[in-house]
Amino acid sequence: MRQVSDLVDLAASSPSTVLVTGETGVGKEVIARELHARGPRGEASFVAINCAAFPETLLESELFGHAKGAFTGAEREKVGLFEAAGEGTLFLDELAEMELPLQAKLLRVLQEREVRRVGDLAPRPIHCRIVAATNRLLAEEVTRGQFREDLFYRLNVFPIRIPPLRERRSDVLPLARSFLALHGPREGKHGCHLSLAASHLLEAYHWPGNVRELENEMLRALMLTPSGQLITPRQLSPKLVEILEPIAHGARPDETLRQALERIESWLIRRALANNDGRKARTAQKLGITREGLYNERIPLADKRFKQRFQHHRYLRN
């Protein structure tokens, strides 16, 4: 994230279009606002729109505006967001959801720096800086014919990729504490802190929903924790504490430490396989081990029932 911050500093003073990419929930709008705040436009307007939230006809009117009488219900003229942003920044979130005809109109706006309201003949100049964001891989969308190639290259002037939270686990606890500090007073829960056990579970979880999921988890924990008390694993979601299931009873009387660790490791691999629909290659990649090591080395050979179930599942898939 320090590298991302450095890129934001470099891009902030430039008027060029910036494309912010990353999975859902990583904080693309946060980065867009930082781009706006750190640059010379920081005192001007920051206007954001989620392109996935509007049907095509309504999205065109929202972006470009419309003239009075342009269509049924257009009782007065409307200023589009390109104009409303003024000298500030227009943030186009989930840009890949935009239909191809509207993409062509957006391309012209980027090239000519002017818009034409729906039902109007006169073009109007725009002066805003444009920041776009998507959780899709636009290069792949171009290959599938779902996104215009010329628009992709026009947008991809200065790309900034935000890594998912699982790739920056050292950020988990600082983010969690910041959310507790932010939402604690709002919830009337002052002085709530994470216990050591809860902290370890937060760091171990893979966070498919990224920072947004972490924030929601902290909100839930605050609701379940009395003011001034420690947040323990009891206040965390089942998806975070399920890892404790094979550890809860400790080592069995008849097994060695190595056997206990193998049992826990086997349980973790089973869960990972279940989460990835039994696909070995994807599971191995998620676990950071080789595909061969996943099955031949990591799963105890004594676990015959699991081995048979896995083979049967693979046979059905093939």
Q: Give the model confidence (pLDDT) of 70-91 as tens digits.
A: 777 777 888 999 999 999 999 9
Q: Give the model confidence (pLDDT) of 105-116 as tens digits.
A: 999 999 999 999
Instruction: Give the residue with greater pLDDT, 66 vs 5.
Output: 5
* Mean pLDDT calculated for residue range 33-37: 96
Residue 261 has pLDDT above 80, yes or no: no
- Angstrom CA distances, 116 to 72, 98, 107, 190, stand at 19, 18, 13, 52
DSSP string for 184-252: HHHHT-TT-EE-HHHHHHHHHS--TTHHHHHHHHHHHHHHHS-TT-EE-GGGS-HHHHGGGTTTTT-S-
In the block, residue with structure tokens 């099955």: 295
| CB burial of residue 117 (10 Å; 0-12, 13-18, 19+) | buried
Which range, of 136-150, 244-258, 274-288, averages the lowest pLDDT? 244-258
Q: What is the pLDDT of residue 230?
A: 94
DSSP 22: -
Residue 20: helix, strand or coil by DSSP?
A: strand
CA pair distance 217, 208, nearest whole angstrom = 12
Q: Confidence class of residue 262 from pLDDT cuts 50, 70 and 90?
A: confident
Whether the CB-CB separation of 45 and 91 falls below 8 Å is answered with: no
Q: Which fold has domain 166-240?
A: Helicase, Ruva Protein; domain 3 (1.10.8)
Cite the beta strand spans of the chain per DSSP E.
18-21, 46-50, 65-66, 78-79, 89-93, 114-115, 124-125, 129-134, 158-161, 193-194, 230-231
Q: What is the pLDDT of residue 301?
A: 38
| CB burial of residue 210 (10 Å; 0-12, 13-18, 19+) | buried
Whether the CB-CB separation of 56 and 170 falls below 8 Å is answered with: no
Cα angle, residue 120 at apex, residues 117 and 121 outer, rounded to 5°: 115
pTM for this prediction: 0.75
Q: How many other CB atoms sit within 10 Å of the CB of residue 248?
A: 7
CATH code 3.40.50.300 for 2-163: yes
Phi and psi dihedrals of 262, rounded to 5? -65, -40
Q: Residue 136: in which H helix or E strand, if any?
A: none
Q: What is the pLDDT of residue 316?
A: 43
Closest among 248, 249, 293 to 272, alpha carbons compared: 293
Residue 236 has pLDDT above 50, yes or no: yes
* Mean pLDDT calculated for residue range 238-250: 68
- Bridge partner list, 48: 91
Whole-angstrom Cα Rg for the chain: 25
CA pair distance 114, 104, nearest whole angstrom = 14
CA pair distance 73, 254, nearest whole angstrom = 78
Q: Confidence class of residue 303 from pLDDT cuts 50, 70 and 90?
A: very low
Q: Give the model confidence (pLDDT) of 162-191 as tens digits.
A: 999 999 989 999 999 999 999 999 999 999
Residue 193 has pLDDT above 50, yes or no: yes
CA pair distance 70, 122, nearest whole angstrom = 14
